Amino acid sequence: MSHPIIPVILCGGSGTRLWPASREKYPKQFLSLLSERSLLQDTARRSLRTTATTADKIITVTLGDLSQHVAGQLAALDVAAARHILCEPSARNTAAAIALAACHVEAVYGPNAIMLVLPSDHHIGNESELAKAYALGAEAAAKDYLVTFGITPTRPETGYGYIKLGNTLEGFTATHSAAAFVEKPNLPTAQSYVADGSYLWNSGMFMYRTGKVLAEYETHSPAILAAVRKAMRAGDNYKPDAATYAAIPSEPFDKAIMERSHAVAVIPVQPDWSDIGSWESLWEISQRNEQQNVVQGNAALANSTGCLVMAHSSRLIACAGLKNTVVVDTGDAVLVADRSDQDALRALVAQLKKANDPRVSELPESLIMEQLRTTE
């Protein structure tokens, strides 16, 4: 019998590059930026459509108070999808989060279950390409490869890590070894990667047999695995003990396992992928009108081009004579920003944080409810 596929959705991320929509305590995976569903909800539904699995098998790994939002959003989608919500008491990076999920999957579904690890905050334009890649991934994972999916780059992006593609693996036609994992490059290096053609964006999606990835933890990062198991024993699978968990070494999964493993397989895929890392990238992947504007909600624009406008339900956003400007009204804050100037937004959020402005971390409950109702 074929091994069951268990989607493991990593849902702990924070980040304020999409502030004020995204807050530390209500990060972007919960936002409905591109459809009437949130990125998390889209990820969960996509995992079902691109594999032969069922909603009851979806596992989410989330962080502290974020678990209530995960539970609410998955319940709204399908009750069974909210069965396995693993809640990290503190953020210990992806090596810990994936080890936690792996231990839980092993306990519930046995070591032969295939984990499909997915970030919760990415956009996919072409699901059928992804489904094909996952099918290849499942084959390689069944043969004890640690599979990672590399996105064919469409531009010299400096915000992503890259994977250099190695040879085709024996017995496969489109599955490769990894020649190297490389950090975020500078622009000339990124340009050379795109020209070279053998470098792919590191998507953060993985597939592996649960028993195999746990064995790789034993070999390459035994301290992390031991600490995760200890925290699970001191608490339980769903809520590991906080004090024990806080002591787990904080490392990204790529560094702790993938870069050290001798069993890595890379599957190239072009699923029209974006991590929606900024307002600029949201504008790029959104449907634009003739004036190159992206407009959501109650807004009026005159003599304006290249803008991204997200209005709040209760209030008109009116734009006159703007170029490449982002206007986002969340009800408690209105951001007006140059679309491309991410440094300025970073400086703004840092300034607000320094002033202890609660809008950096919190989204008021009433606005969460409104946002879920009205952003579509």
- Note the residues at the interface with a copy of itself (CB under 8 A): 20, 300-304, 314-322, 325, 327, 329, 331-338, 341, 343-345, 347-348, 351-352, 355, 357, 359
- Taking the least distance from each CB to a copy of itself, the nearer of 128 and 289 is 289
Cα–Cα distance, 159 to 370 (Å, whole number): 32
- Write 189-193 long-range contacts (CB < 8 A, 24+): 190/156, 190/157, 190/158, 190/162, 191/156, 193/153, 193/156, 193/162
Of residues 102, 130, 134, the one with CA closest to residue 115: 102
Nearer to a copy of itself, 123 or 339 (CB): 339
Comparing CB distances to a copy of itself, the nearer of 239 and 359 is 359
Q: Which is nearer to a copy of itself, 165 or 352 (CB)?
A: 352
Rounded Cα distance, 185 and 143, in Å: 32
Quote the least distance from Cβ 5 to a copy of itself, whole Å: 42
Min dist CB 339 to a copy of itself, Å, is 9
The Cα 349–Cα 353 span in angstroms is 6
Residue 260 or 315 having the CB closest to a copy of itself: 315
Looking up tokens 């969340």 gives 330
**Nearest to a copy of itself of 107, 350 (CB atom):** 350
Cis bond leading into 222, ω under 30°? no
Compute the least distance from the CB of residue 224 to a copy of itself, in Å.
38
- In 3D space, the residue among 101, 107, 73 whose CA is nearest the CA of residue 87 turns out to be 101
User: Closest distance between a copy of itself and the C-beta of residue 371, in Å?
Assistant: 15
Q: Residue 313 Cβ, how far from a copy of itself at the closest point, in Å?
A: 12
Give the rounded distance of the alpha carbon of 235 from its chain centre.
27
User: Smallest gap, in angstroms, from Cβ of residue 338 to a copy of itself?
Assistant: 3
Rounded Cα distance, 67 and 167, in Å? 41
* Torsion angles phi and psi, residue 165, rounded to 5: -70, 135
CB of 333 to a copy of itself, least distance (A): 4
Closer CB to a copy of itself, 99 or 301, in the complex:
301
Residue 1: other Cβ atoms inside 10 A: 4
CA 162 to each of CA 65, 168, 182, 198, 254: distance values in angstroms, whole numbers, following the listed order: 32, 18, 5, 10, 11
